[in-house]
A and B are shown apart, each in its own frame.
Chain A
Amino acid sequence: MSKILIRGAQVLGGEVQDVLIDGETIAEVGTGLSAEGATVIEAQGQVLLPGLVDLHTHLREPGREDSETVLTGTRAAASGGYTAVFAMANTHPVADTAGVVEQVWRLGKESGYCDVQPIGAVTVGLEGKKLAELGAMHDSAAGVTVFSDDGKCVDDAVIMRRALEYVKAFGGVVAQHAQEPRLTEGAQMNEGIVSAELGLGGWPAVAEESIIARDVLLAEHVGSRVHICHLSTAGSVEIVRWAKSRGIDVTAEVTPHHLLLTDELVRSYNPVYKVNPPLRTEKDVLALREALADGTIDIVATDHAPHPHEDKDCEWAAAAMGMVGLETALSVVQQTMVETGLLDWAGVADRMSFAPARIGRATGHGRPVSAGEPANLTLVDPAYRGVVDPADFASRSRNTPYEGRELPGRVTHTILRGRATVVDGKLA
């Protein structure tokens, strides 16, 4: 491994500096650093961020390798500026044993594009009935600390309470997919004005909010921390804000698509807009942006959910829920948060790297850009403007809601422990 000199980048969008990487580590940050023996990246006008960390990725392997594998998913992650992703447990078989999480972890090591930290299921088979062997998954080589039945809600209050309590023994956290199942039977989209017109089954905001309210109170009662996946409504924001003001140890994430898109798009009946939780209203979008800016929502997480073409090239009701997001996340955040003045680049670094690494206890990630730190870095050209073409994706799947849309910014370089995984916008 050799030296890399990143010359003239705006570190976290601030001061223009040179960053010298030696081996796996940042050796020096300053001005006028010597390029001797180093590969030079000219970064004038570009923003240098800590490598992005995604707390919510579906890599689909094992089981649905037709939509994504650990290799293709981590290549997509690197393209999007990520150096670490947390792989959700709803694979086939479910990642509810030490064996499965170790398999995913090992595949991540082999890929080399991005660190993969498996998430373990909370309950056996995601069925919500019986706790999975959480301790065994934590003690395995994969070292699982985040547990989630994502895709399904841990709706039984007793099971949720026990999980919250149990993982305290090893500093774990439960990431809840907040969806009251009875209120969302047959749900196809956000319940409101548009669903009434389109005749599609409604997914009411209260189905999310009631679970979040219950879970923050449970977390308070047992003194645990809880993480809320893909928060999507203005009401959820109010509940999390209240919980934090009470000192409850709750963190929350928002997806890029919930920061930009609304249920009006469903009028096209194009299943590329079908996602769970569903696209909400303009009022929700604005509340989510504000909450991400003021820190009520801690992080952006992609909920990258690849699906094969045939699962979207059909009528709405038959289509799968979910969108790919790793390769467009930073651009959507730039458009919705940076260019609206809600967040500066240091804020982006916090919401997309520092905070998710902290919540997931991802060692070596989400660290400051300073000497002695691991060289996990992302270089962004914020002036770039491009139209999204799914054919360019590294992901195996193409189910993006942004096809044909112009988005700002481009990841030019991604560096994982001193090795460039993306060079000049292309996978290395």
Chain B
Amino acid sequence: MMRHLISAADLTRDDAVLILDTAEEMARVADRPIKKLPTLRGRTICNLFFEDSTRTRISFEAAEKRLSADVINFAAKGSSVSKGESLKDTAQTLEAMGVDAVVIRHGASGAPYRLATSGWIDAPVINAGDGTHQHPTQALLDAFTMRRRLVGRDAGLGQDLAGKRITLVGDVLHSRVARSNVDLLHTLGAEVTLVAPPTLVPVGVETWPCEVSYDIDRVLPKSDAVMMLRVQRERMNAAFFPTEREYSRRYGLDGDRMAKMPEHAIVMHPGPMVRGMEITAEVADSDRCTVIEQVANGVSIRMAVLYLLLGGNDSAATAPSTTRTEESK
């Protein structure tokens, strides 16, 4: 395994499949009466959250605690700059207190990469979402959910998502979830289509390993999974689309549209959902929607990532760390 997890693009197919398989093992822990492994006992992990986040922070914290790590939560609302202390000073302060790994969420794209490569600290860095860049554990938990539903829990072990047709709908421009998913799903052999109004597709998307469509109705019948991305209402004021209602009509997923999907196809959402905007309550509450499963799977994936990066107590038995993260960027 690599030393840091910064971008889904840094994962090879085999890395990704190993994480998914390990997450299946971790998921079994959740079925036990005592949901705890001793793997990271005596190790300290800091959740360094410069941006508001409830579900991702709690998911990491649950994963860390299930692996018996000591957890420090550092929440700095707003940016490091507005607090007057730099990211560098904050990270170095924490490392001086004996932190073995840093999980970072930051509003600035590239902040986790800077933390991992600037020589500020030595600890492994796990990106829990940076600006509009990457959110690799989200992409991994999404892939895990897809593999379970579309390939099978046991049948999926060792497998990737070859040939699966995955559609992402919504604000691609501002979405780190979209970027991470495009990278990882491509690595896992899936065929990805992005659907969005042209204003919410980045200039430069042409080099991404995916298709782009402006018409959701043409894509839905050919999708094995449809992931709806959150659209923030404030985008409306920046003229990305005329009104919330028009967006909802043209790009929202309602019951009629869901009926156009193949029977086996699932509906996904990274949360939090804006019901009535990109997704109707009917769809969100249907049994084709995997939102709650994704949350549960998130804990398993984060346990797997922490386990593989930190190597547990018997780290000597694992493969030597590489610096591929740095070299491949």
- A residues near B (Cβ < 8 Å) are 188, 191-200, 202, 204, 267-270, 310, 313-318
Contact = CB atoms under 8 A, between A and B. Distances in A.
Contact of A204 (B117, B118, B203, B208): B203
B106 A196 contact: no
B114 A195 contact: no
Contact of B204 (A188, A193, A310, A313): A193
A269 B113 CA distance: 7
Nearest to B178: A199
Contacts of B86: 310, 313-314, 318
Interface string B148-179: 00000000000000000000000000001001
A2 to B, nearest CB: 50
Q: Which of B110, B111, B205 has the most CB of A within 10 A?
A: B110
B109 interface: yes
Nearest to B207: A193
Interface string B78-95: 011100001110000000
Given A198-B110, A202-B203, A269-B114, A318 B81 contact: yes
B203 A316 contact: no
B28 interface: no
B242 interface: no
B94 to A, nearest CB: 16
Contact of B131 (A193, A199, A310, A313): A199
B32 interface: no
B207 A315 contact: no
A196 B205 contact: yes
Given A313-B88, A314-B88, A199 B179 contact: yes
A235 to B, nearest CB: 14
Contact of A318 (B108, B133, B176, B203): B108
Given A197-B204, A199-B176, 18 more contacts: A191-B204, A193-B204, A193-B207, A196-B203, A196-B204, A199-B131, A200-B132, A202-B204, A204-B203, A270-B114, A314-B87, A315-B110, A315-B114, A316-B114, A317-B107, A317-B109, A317-B111, A318-B81
Given A199-B131, A199-B176, A315 B202 contact: no
B63 to A, nearest CB: 25
B218 interface: no
A200 B329 contact: no
25 contacts: A188-B109, A192-B204, A197-B179, A197-B208, A198-B109, A198-B110, A199-B109, A199-B132, A199-B176, A199-B179, A200-B109, A200-B110, A200-B131, A270-B114, A270-B118, A313-B88, A314-B114, A315-B80, A315-B106, A315-B111, A316-B110, A317-B110, A317-B111, A318-B86, A318-B108
Residue of A197, A199, A315 most packed against chain B (CB within 10 A)? A315
Contacts of B81: 314, 318
Contacts of B131: 199-200, 317
A196 B88 contact: no
B50 to A, nearest CB: 9
A267 B329 contact: yes
Which of A188, A191, A196 gathers most chain B CB within 10 Å? Answer: A196
Contacts of A268: 117, 329
A191 B203 CA distance: 7
B187 interface: no
Nearest to A204: B203
B323 to A, nearest CB: 14
A135 B134 CA distance: 52
B202 A195 contact: yes
A315 B105 CA distance: 13
Contact of A316 (B79, B109, B179, B329): B109
Interface string B110-132: 11011001100000000000111
Interface in B202-216: 202-208
A196 B194 CA distance: 14
Given A267-B329, A315-B87, A199 B204 contact: no
Nearest to A313: B88
B116 to A, nearest CB: 10
B230 to A, nearest CB: 16
Contacts of B132: 199-200
B110 to A, nearest CB: 3
A265 to B, nearest CB: 12
A233 to B, nearest CB: 14
B72 to A, nearest CB: 21
Nearest to A200: B109
B202 A269 contact: no
8 tightest A-B CB contacts, nearest first: A196-B204, A269-B110, A199-B133, A199-B132, A317-B108, A196-B202, A193-B204, A199-B109
A315 B203 contact: no
B180 to A, nearest CB: 10
B208 A199 contact: no
Contacts of B114: 269-270, 314-316
